[in-house]
Chains A and B, each alone.
Chain A
Amino acid sequence: MKKTKIGLILLEMILIVAAAIFIYPVFLMVINSLKPFAEVVTDVIALPKKIEFQNYAYVTEKINFVRLFFNNLTITTIGLAGIILFSSMGAYILSRRNTKFTRMAYMFCIIPMLIPFQTIMITLLKVAKTFHLSDSLWGLGIQYWGFGIPMAVFIYNGFIKTIPREIDESATIDGASTLTIFFRIIFPLLKPVTATVAVLDVMWIWNDFLLPMLMVNSRPQTKTLTLAAYTFVGQYNTNWHYAMTAMVMAVVPSILFFIVMQKHIIKGVVAGAVKG
């Protein structure tokens, strides 16, 4: 018994050291964002001589952080709302009714999971232009509907199958329309799986890079945080202190989101992964 206890303590020590090394790059990013340029160039690992936030003031103004934050929020909210609404409605019918149409439609919806984004990114630009979806936050959010639906339909479909049919059948007898049944009875039951879809899609849309780069990178008013960090590093290539600051600022909202939502995120990841 004692032996295992000592073993556990030893294991814990090893893990703590490993975790410290593991997270050290993030730590370096943070301390270098607090240093002036000369200190970053001369010694990266030294702690800042004194903590100053002037890099933050500079970058906040340069990339217009507040605006970018709300851009991200807008895109993510629009994208998420559409994905959840359309996928849950679609998956409800697709999993409840077994006809030729629903079987075909289901395949049509989930096959895109196999199409790599790079296969369509070149021509997507033309499509987006035709439908006036490029160069706007709304347009980008709407595009995420198309890309998010396949996985969401897949996850919802699997979950709805586990809900007993008797529930909607008894409601039908009471004379409720399909729409009412869905919104009053089924949708509330989908809460846990909706949380999964939400967590997965928020992390995806919030951090996405290539699609925003093709669609909304042209104007500072429509940039996202990741894009801003990317172009900022490109622009201020030589100024690592500002680059680090921009990256910290891009990462902090995600980390805060993680800390607040930790339990849901981990549950969501597991549920999504097991279902997916």
Chain B
Amino acid sequence: MKKRLLSLMMCLVLAGGVMSGCSPKTTGADAADTVKEAEAPKAADAEQTETAASDEPVTITIFQNMPEYTDAINAYIEEYKKVKPNVTINLEITQSDYPTMLKAKINSGEIPDVFATTAGGEIEAYAEYSYDLSNEPLAAAMTDAVKVNMSYDGKVYGFPIKSNTFGMIYNKELFEKAGITAPPKTLSELEAACEKLVAIGVKPFTTGYKEWWVQKHVFQHFFDAAQPDDVGGLVKEFIAGKAKFADYPTINDNFFKFVDLAVKYGDDKPLETDLSAEIAAFATGKAAMICGQGPWVEADILKINPSAQIGFTGYPVSENPADCVIIAGADQALRINKDSKVLKEVVELYNWLYTSDYGKKWFSEVAQVIPPIKDAPIPNLQIPTAMQEILKTEKAGDLYINYSLDSFHQKFGEIIQSYIAKAYTKEQAIKEIEAVWPQLGVAQ
């Protein structure tokens, strides 16, 4: 198992190497640039401020999602004013219906200079609007895993503002109180743990099953275990309509077992529990485990309960403890409009964010996210620290969600909701998933 993962990582590293530039020369030059930038940021700053006076005032429009980082993004914008006073940045952040609005803008011809998409499939769908960043310093600064998530056809078309990780979040204190010494790694261990939690009067799970995206986050752990060597390849098989659930027991049986378990030991109204209800139930100690979330919930949990002891682990997906892994990578990308009138300034801005001293600190200290770049510290938060700890000894799983479009993931979430609502049997649910994957999995 470990060997397999190792070879996967090798592949990723190799792919990253290939993608970062056509020839080793360019890669070398990029690396040198990065070092130079990193070593002499002050000199660069001074230089830029000198030229700034004569620079024409320009306005950059950023239109992105992930409002939870609004304050952090405003902080780097503020800081960038000191570097380039002639640059005005218009920031628009929205979450609900972001894709609708982005398409409205594209169709009305008012494409923002910077916009956001998901990583993976959408990297391709929006490639004709995106600037190729392959030879920019920011591409060289990315970690290899992130670079793979941002690339299509060997070119880097995006960059994330955070690296992400997925796994199961649990309450350490409650686990201890219930006498659970180590987080469960197999499905039967999970069930035993649930029983112990019930015995001390705690609800084992809060599921968030009202949110369709919770399902894709959980499901990817099961899917990764189905064929860990080539997750993307297996997704392609499903999109081509060739693969069948029945051949892969972790998704055919274990995933549904897990859903049943989480419903049985979970919220009274599973399909009504949304993200905020989930956070509230977990933070107030009513529930011991959260489904389908990641590091982004930590701040909100601590807001309700500042002394929460948060644990982080992979999902038990089978009876083999080695299958229980966390997943790491980047699932969201920012893109630069290749027809932007201020293209040079935009690229400069993000090269700065990725390579300057301030930028390196920004990820862990200001935004408090896992940096998508090499040689930057991990933020001092419980989930990222736990992730770092785990990745010292284990390999992370592949980011399954990147291989299909969100239109599929949303339908997938709805189908599983129907299963939870008992409107579908397991067989009906699987049949429909197999049917919609070819329709919605890739851009047509």
A–B contact at 8 Å CB threshold (below): yes
Does A86 interact with chain B (Cβ within 8 Å)?
A: no
Interface string of A235-249 (1 = CB under 8 A from B): 111111000000000
Q: B94 and A128: CB pair below 8 A? A: no
Binds B, one of A53-61, A97-105, A189-197, A217-225: A217-225
Q: B108 and A213: CB pair below 8 A? A: no
Q: B303 and A37: CB pair below 8 A? A: yes
What's the nearest-Cβ distance from chain B to residue A171, in Å?
Answer: 47
Docked CA distance A233–B280 (Å): 17
Interface string of B69-97 (1 = CB under 8 A from A): 01000000000000000000010111111
- Max count, chain A CB within 10 A of own CB: residue among B70, B101, B276: B276
Knowing A38-B304, A41-B284, the reply to whether A234 touches B97 (Cβ < 8 A) is yes
CB-CB < 8 A to A240: which residues of B?
276
Secondary structure class of chain A's binding surface, majority of residues: helix
What's the nearest-Cβ distance from chain B to residue A58, in Å?
Answer: 12
Knowing A37-B304, A219-B92, A230-B96, the reply to whether A126 touches B275 (Cβ < 8 A) is no
Interface string of A119-135 (1 = CB under 8 A from B): 00000011011000011
CB-CB < 8 A to A234: which residues of B?
67, 94-97
CB-CB < 8 A to B304: which residues of A?
37-38, 41
What's the nearest-Cβ distance from chain A to residue B355, in Å?
Answer: 30
Docked CA distance A237–B67 (Å): 10
Return the contact of B90 from the options A215, A217, A219, A230 (Cβ within 8 A). A219
CB-CB < 8 A to B101: which residues of A?
213, 217-218
CB-CB < 8 A to A125: which residues of B?
104, 107-108
Q: A214 and B92: CB pair below 8 A? A: no
Interface string of B267-298 (1 = CB under 8 A from A): 00000001110011000100000000000000
CB-CB < 8 A to A237: which residues of B?
95, 274-276
CB-CB < 8 A to A219: which residues of B?
90, 92
Within 8 A of B (CB), among A76-131: 125-126, 128-129
Q: B108 and A128: CB pair below 8 A? A: yes
The number of chain A residues touching the other chain, given as a range, is 20 to 34
Does B300 interact with chain A (Cβ within 8 Å)?
A: yes
Q: B67 and A220: CB pair below 8 A? A: no
Does B412 interact with chain A (Cβ within 8 Å)?
A: no
Does A42 interact with chain B (Cβ within 8 Å)?
A: yes
Q: A214 and B90: CB pair below 8 A? A: no
CB-CB < 8 A to B110: which residues of A?
129, 134-135, 218
Return the contact of B109 from the options A38, A42, A129, A215 (Cβ within 8 A). A129
Q: B94 and A41: CB pair below 8 A? A: no
What's the nearest-Cβ distance from chain B to residue A64, in Å?
Answer: 12
Output the nearest chain A residue to B63 by Cβ-Cβ distance: A218
Q: B108 and A134: CB pair below 8 A? A: yes
Does A207 interact with chain B (Cβ within 8 Å)?
A: no
Does B264 interact with chain A (Cβ within 8 Å)?
A: no
Docked CA distance A239–B275 (Å): 11
Output the nearest chain B residue to A41 by Cβ-Cβ distance: B280
Q: B279 and A238: CB pair below 8 A? A: yes
Output the nearest chain B residue to A235 by Cβ-Cβ distance: B67
What's the nearest-Cβ distance from chain B to residue A108, in Å?
Answer: 27
CB-CB < 8 A to B108: which residues of A?
125-126, 128-129, 134-135
CB-CB < 8 A to A217: which residues of B?
94, 101, 104
Output the nearest chain B residue to A40 by Cβ-Cβ distance: B280
Interface string of A202-221 (1 = CB under 8 A from B): 00000000000111011110
What's the nearest-Cβ distance from chain A to residue B159, in Å?
Answer: 22
What's the nearest-Cβ distance from chain A to residue B191, in Å?
Answer: 30
CB-CB < 8 A to B279: which residues of A?
238
Docked CA distance A215–B107 (Å): 11
Within 8 A of A (CB), among B130-176: none
Knowing A125-B108, A218-B101, A238-B276, the reply to whether A42 touches B95 (Cβ < 8 A) is no
Q: A231 and B274: CB pair below 8 A? A: no
Does B244 interact with chain A (Cβ within 8 Å)?
A: no
Does B105 interact with chain A (Cβ within 8 Å)?
A: yes
Docked CA distance A154–B51 (Å): 63
Output the nearest chain A residue to B274 by Cβ-Cβ distance: A237
Output the nearest chain A residue to B299 by Cβ-Cβ distance: A238
Q: A238 and B104: CB pair below 8 A? A: no
Output the nearest chain A residue to B102 by Cβ-Cβ distance: A218
CB-CB < 8 A to A218: which residues of B?
63, 92, 101, 104-105, 110, 112
CB-CB < 8 A to B93: which residues of A?
235
Which residues in B have some Cβ–Cβ distance to A below 8 Å? 63, 67, 70, 90, 92-97, 100-101, 104-105, 107-110, 112, 274-276, 279-280, 284, 300, 303-304
Q: Can you report 28 residue pairs joining A to B where beta carbons are below 8 Å apart?
A: A37-B303, A37-B304, A38-B304, A42-B284, A125-B104, A125-B107, A125-B108, A129-B108, A129-B109, A135-B108, A135-B110, A213-B101, A214-B100, A217-B101, A218-B92, A218-B104, A218-B105, A218-B110, A219-B90, A230-B96, A233-B96, A234-B95, A234-B97, A235-B95, A237-B274, A237-B275, A237-B276, A240-B276
Question: Which 3 A-B pairs give the minimum distances between C-beta atoms?
Answer: A234-B96, A235-B67, A129-B108
Q: Beyond the given A129-B109, A218-B63, A231-B96, could you list 7 further A-B residue pairs with CB under 8 A, ordered by the A residue number? A: A134-B108, A135-B110, A218-B101, A230-B96, A233-B96, A237-B275, A239-B276
Which residues in A have some Cβ–Cβ distance to B below 8 Å? 37-38, 41-42, 125-126, 128-129, 134-135, 213-215, 217-220, 230-231, 233-240
